[in-house]
Structure 1
């Protein structure tokens, strides 16, 4: 199933037209239709996933589960290379988890507007 087909299927479940989804996601009204032939921009796909209450991984076909994982059940121990978009297999060693956490914290310090955008939603 293509990204377009997955979006269409979830939209139908929510009784939304593709144009409704595009408007709610604040992307061009025909953008989703263009994804029949072109790969979506990550930012636009993330907006659509948010509207459809799913993940970009589901829309891209990386998983067949449209549900958003419950973050309360996740722990640092569940971090895998695939989570970091690196298909090496296995879990990330503990010493590298701290490194990635430090990188993320530094990024947030340098870009505090990210937290403001999140809190506004």
Structure 2
């Protein structure tokens, strides 16, 4: 258990040497026969509350490192929370509203040469 500023108490539990079930060959078109087994670590992250006030659900994270240490697991879930709380990396930001027209029509400046 770790206390966080935005999410209250966070609890992370990890299991290593697990692998996702590959069901599509899209990335493995050249692979003949059975699809490969890719071992990794699964992390279940539960936080006390969300900044938005919504009810938090557990989040499952998968990392391709098969032998994660406690320090690595802590870094991974903390990086996830840090990234998910930064609006600039979110692909959908309904709270930001549409882009301002003036920003879209900003004149281009010519470079040297």
Query: Which category describes the TM-score, using the shorter chain as reference length?
Result: under 0.3
Q: Which has the higher Rg, Structure 1 or Structure 2?
A: 2
* Relative contact order, higher structure (CA 8 A, sep 6+): 2
Give the TM-score normalised by structure 2: 0.25
Give the TM-score normalised by structure 1: 0.24
Of Structure 1 and Structure 2, the greater helix share is in 1
